[in-house]
Amino acid sequence: MAREKIHVGLEIGTTKVCAVVAECRRDGEVRLLGVGESPSRGVRKGEIVDFQNASNCVHDALSDAEERSDHEIKSVWLAVTGSHIESSNHRRSVTIEGGGEITEKEIEDIASKDKEVSLPKDNDILHSILQQYYVDGREGVIDPIGIGGSKLEADYHIIHGVVNRIQSTIRCVRKIGIDVEDVVVNSVASAHTILDDQKKASGVVVIDIGGGVTDYIVYENGAVRQSGVIAIGGDHITNDLCIGLRIPITRAEKLKIEEGSAFLENLSGTEKITLKNDTGFSGKEIDRSMLNLIIHSRLHELFGILRNRIQEVVPIHLLGSGIILTGGCSLIKGVREVAESVFEVPVHFAHAQSITGPTSAFDNPQLSTCIGLVKYAHAVDADAPQESFLNRFISSITRKLHLI
Amino acid sequence: MITYPRYLARQSEPQSLLIGLGNAGINIMDRLISQAGFPMESLAINTDQQSISNTLASKKISMGQMTTHGLGTGGDPEIGLDAAKESAGEIQRAIAGANIIFICAGLGGGTGSGAAPLLAEMAKQNGSLVIAVVTSPFSFEGRRRSQQAAASLRDITRFADAILHFENDRMSELIEPHAEVRETFAICDNLLFRSISSLNRIVTSTGPIPVSLPDMLTVLRHSDDSCLFGCGEANGENRGHHALESALRSPLLDRGRLLHDAGRLLVHISGPPSLSMEEVSEIMREISNNLSPSAMLNLGVSATHDHSSPLTVAIIGRCGTAKRTSVPPKVTPDLALLSQSQQTVPPASKPEQTEAPFFEIPVAHTAHPPEKAPAPKVQQPLLPLDPVTRGRFDKIEPTIVEGQDLDVPTFLRMKLKK
């Protein structure tokens, strides 16, 4: 079977490294070929702290993916996250020369003004996302080419991060001989999986609660309004349980996955959970009310911080599509109810859309970032100028002529 | 309860003098001087002729020419003290006229440990406000050096009005483990630099809410706790928040966690004329979120005339007295000694100074003055081992949002369970 353009998305997460191989067809469909996973070591809060270990895990995940997809991976699209990633909104403007009609030149000029954004010294721009154009102060222009005016302005959402910290993630992949096509911020990638244009237009927040960090991105009127990273994730819940219930960290993790719940209602107060004994652990009985309280307070606080940050930019109740939760932590029971009580808007879970393939993996919220990477790559391909058949023919002839 | 010299209140223009003592002290001082526009007289004092010839200080004293022949003390505090005694007259002339004296010294070696107490005493007799900024050595430098440092620090406490004490061990938290040695010391020096310049700013600045000198002195009075210090500055959007965040990131605040233990806290905010009340109240709100309810909080606000100057937040404090019951009783004997020494008692206190570091056996130490008992050889045990638990996030960069360390379990911070 002949395959079309294949993209690989790689996420080095705090709990696991995950690689998705997918075929991107010209008709816009993305077909999943294989998913490779490996438990992650040496990553804390989304960033690499133990280079060698992390690199081994990346290697494991990629070879797993190669095996499953029967495709030799040469390069990947890499998701990055970490508390150093920040964002801001900027407006920039150009004066329209000539006959007062906006041409592609002005659009290019305004897009190339990234350098003028003032950033902290160590930071560099990861994404520069167009929000909207203004022509002579008139709002909401979507495609200004051909419109007449004297001044073109544009709002951009800039996502930036500390260069060195991003590079260490890239180096971790390059070290095992795999090329990195580009880096994409987690939240941007997740949004590609989860959101369609209709949701973006009506306004939505995507909250991706991962193992080490929580990424979020806010869309309003079809454009990114805000995005960011909070270095709180599932690890924190595990750690809270470990400290609060005085159990080993591995048991805490297991308890969180098997019994974890954030419901505070309908608790009798006497219900116990029995932990079986194990080597080096003599077994223990735990109050369910305590377990739920610890998880609830952590999630409640996290959503509270997010609410405050989002409220700075947009009133949450105006976001028509509400909140969408994804990431491994969204699997905890009751997380949606906690989120609804904090945000006071409908909260949904994400389901990866319009991707077809042999596995059911894409329904798994833990993969939304990786699939998003592939979709992002696909979207970049689609934007890139397509060489027509004639051009390719001509250029191949000229090459041959040069050889003679 | 703490008095301060009257003339300070009378004179409009305080004359600050910065003294760098010993190699470490001179390094710190040079760093301060090389920052343009640092408004202070400077004086370098060392026993090592070579190091003194390279310093940027405006006045230099090579002390103890007869004692050391300009070759340094070889790490012996007694030689350092002898050298200082020999050049006492010269030093006295140099410090005359200054009414705020900052003494920078690295304790543990010969010159710093030996001469700093005498220098503090002379400065006190001169009638100045004495602020000592000292570092204690890394623990890997050996036990003898930390004993010398501890002994010297105790002596300085008697004369200095305020002590900023930095433990090098803690400062190394600032630095990545693979940082070069030169870089490590540069970062330590830089922290000291920022502390001195912000102290000087606090003392000299006038503003809408000035910090009174007694307030500052009370906060800085006790030297056997390492002081809590953090300073941060920021420009641009959301500057208040960013400045506070970088102040809290200071290792001397244990990344904001020690705020909770602070018994007294002095917060000084200075900024350009555009500094708004809202920014001030936001910063204070974030700080008080972290404070224990019983903590005393002093606020100072000043605005410069320079529009381009950044917003600066300086936090100075000391740990709560509730936890360290040994501290308050010491205040009175210290004060008593202090007032005595203003007349003439050096002989009474000196034998102690010279002998203490020399007895290497700790038994001899404890047998000496009874008040030494609660201060063992290093001050280290006082700071860490807080009830704050971060579990597996202990060693990595903390997540500080809105002034709270989010790595500490939420239910603990909210006191849902103890």
Contact A305 B237 (CB under 8 A): no
Contact B401 A45 (CB under 8 A): no
CA distance A163 to chain B (A): 17
Task: Please name which of A298, A238, A329 lies closest in space to residue B410, comparing C-alpha atoms.
Answer: A298
Find where tokens 């859309």 sit: A353
Q: How far is CA A219 from the centre of its chain?
A: 14
Whether pLDDT at A219 is above 50: yes
Entry field: residues in chain A = 404
Whether pLDDT at A54 is above 50: yes
Out of A129-133, A387-391, B14-18, give the one with best mean pLDDT: A129-133
**Neighboring chain A residues of B414 at a CB cutoff of 8 Å:** 297, 301
Of B391, B401, B414, the CB nearest to A297: B414
Q: What band does A392 get if pLDDT is binned at 50, 70 and 90?
A: low
Question: Domain A234-299: which topology?
Answer: Nucleotidyltransferase; domain 5 (3.30.420)
* CATH code, residues A86-161: 3.30.1490.110
Mean pLDDT in chain A?
84
Q: Are B119 and B103 in contact (CB under 8 A)?
A: yes
Positive or negative CA dihedral for B286, B290, B292, B297?
negative
Cα gap B336→B371, rounded to integer Å: 14
The tokens of B375 are what?
């201060």
What is the strand order of the sheet B262-271 is part of? B228-234, B311-319, B262-271, B296-303
Instruction: Say if B363 is an interface residue toward chain A (CB within 8 Å).
Output: no
Predicted local distance difference test score (pLDDT) of residue B337: 37
Task: Please name which of B114, B59, B56 lies closest in space to residue B84, comparing C-alpha atoms.
Answer: B114
- Closest residue of B to A292, CA-based? B411
Q: Are B116 and B20 in contact (CB under 8 A)?
A: no
3-state secondary structure at position B255: coil
Q: What band does A306 get if pLDDT is binned at 50, 70 and 90?
A: very high
Of A83, A232, A240, the CB nearest to B411: A240
3-state secondary structure at position B186: helix
> In A, residues 290-309, which contact B (CB 8 Å cutoff)?
290, 293-294, 297-298, 300-301, 305, 308
CATH (one of 3.40.50.1100, 3.40.50.1440, 2.40.70.10, 3.40.640.10) for B13-204: 3.40.50.1440
Cα gap B287→B266, rounded to integer Å: 11
> In A, residues 234-253, which contact B (CB 8 Å cutoff)?
235-236, 239-240, 242-244, 249
The tokens of A62 are what?
């990629």
CA distance B179 to chain A (A): 15
Domain ranges of chain B: 13-204, 228-323+387-413
Q: What band does B319 get if pLDDT is binned at 50, 70 and 90?
A: low
Q: Are A157 and A224 in contact (CB under 8 A)?
A: yes
- Give the rounded percent of residues in chain A with a pLDDT score beyond 70: 88
* Gyration radius from chain A CA atoms: 23
Predicted local distance difference test score (pLDDT) of residue B383: 37
Cα gap A208→A234, rounded to integer Å: 11
Contact B411 A88 (CB under 8 A): no
Cα gap B343→B204, rounded to integer Å: 28
Single-letter residue type at B130:
V
Return the beta strands (E) in B248-388 as ranges: 262-271, 296-303, 311-319
Single-letter residue type at B16:
S
Find where tokens 């004490």 sit: B165
- Closest residue of A to B394, CA-based? A239
Contact A231 B399 (CB under 8 A): yes
Question: Domain B228-323+387-413: which topology?
Answer: 60s Ribosomal Protein L30; Chain: A; (3.30.1330)
Per-residue HEC secondary structure of chain A comes to CCCCCEEEEEEECCCEEEEEEEEECCCCCEEEEEEEEEECCCEECCEECCHHHHHHHHHHHHHHHHHHHCCCCCEEEEEECCCCCEEEEEEEEEECCCCCECCHHHHHHHHHHHHHCCCCCCEEEEEEEEEEEEECCEEEECCCCCCECCEEEEEEEEEEEEHHHHHHHHHHHHCCCCEEEEEEEHHHHHHHHHCCHHHHHHCEEEEEECCCCEEEEEEECCEEEEEEEECCCHHHHHHHHHHHHCCCHHHHHHHHHHHCECCCCCCCCCCEEEECCECCECCEEEEHHHHHHHHHHHHHHHHHHHHHHHHCCCCHHHCCCCEEEECHHHHCECHHHHHHHHHCCCEEECCCCCEECCCCHHHCHHHHHHHHHHHHHHHHHHHCCCCCHHHHHHHHHHHHHHHC
pLDDT in tens, A56-89: 999 999 999 999 888 899 999 999 998 899 898 8
pLDDT in tens, B258-286: 777 777 788 888 888 888 888 888 888 88
Instruction: Say if B407 is an interface residue toward chain A (CB within 8 Å).
Output: yes
Burial class (CB in 10 A: 0-12, 13-18, 19+), A348: middle
DSSP letter assigned to residue B75 = T
CA distance A276 to chain B (A): 23
Instruction: Say if A176 is an interface residue toward chain B (CB within 8 Å).
Output: no
Domain ranges of chain A: 86-161, 234-299
Q: Would residue A70 be called left, alpha or beta, if left means φ above 0 and alpha means ψ between -120 and 50 degrees? A: left
**Neighboring chain A residues of B407 at a CB cutoff of 8 Å:** 236, 239
- Chain A interface disruption, residue of B410, B415, B418, most A CBs within 10 A: B410
3-state secondary structure at position B211: coil
Q: How far is CA B262 from the centre of its chain?
A: 16
**Neighboring chain B residues of A248 at a CB cutoff of 8 Å:** none
Predicted local distance difference test score (pLDDT) of residue A215: 93
Q: Are A46 and A81 in contact (CB under 8 A)?
A: yes
Pick the residue with more confidence: A392 or B379? A392
Contact A232 B393 (CB under 8 A): no
CA distance B237 to chain A (A): 10
The tokens of B347 are what?
């002989």
Contact B411 A49 (CB under 8 A): no
Q: How far is CA B28 from the centre of its chain?
A: 12
Predicted local distance difference test score (pLDDT) of residue A60: 93
* Gyration radius from chain B CA atoms: 21
- Give the rounded percent of residues in chain A with a pLDDT score beyond 90: 28
**Neighboring chain A residues of B397 at a CB cutoff of 8 Å:** 45, 83, 231
- The gap between the terminal CA atoms of chain A, to the nearest Å, is 36
pLDDT in tens, A175-208: 899 999 999 999 999 888 888 889 899 999 999 9
Instruction: Say if B237 is an interface residue toward chain A (CB within 8 Å).
Output: yes
Contact B393 A244 (CB under 8 A): no
Contact B416 A293 (CB under 8 A): yes
Of B393, B401, B417, the CB nearest to A244: B417
Complex-level ipTM beyond the 0.85 threshold: no
Contact B396 A305 (CB under 8 A): no
- The predicted model gives A92-121 an average pLDDT of 81
Number of Cβ within 10 Å of residue B194's Cβ equals: 22
Q: Give buried/exposed letters for B79-104 (b at 16+ CB in 10 A, else e).
A: bbbbbbbbbbeebeebbeebbbbbbb
Q: Are A261 and A228 in contact (CB under 8 A)?
A: no
The tokens of B112 are what?
């710093």
Positive or negative CA dihedral for A140, A143, A148, A151?
positive
**Neighboring chain A residues of B396 at a CB cutoff of 8 Å:** 44-45, 49
Instruction: Say if B89 is an interface residue toward chain A (CB within 8 Å).
Output: no
What is the strand order of the sheet B129-136 is part of? B59-62, B41-46, B16-21, B100-106, B129-136, B162-167
Of A49, A290, A301, the CB nearest to B410: A301
CA distance A293 to chain B (A): 8
CA distance A307 to chain B (A): 13
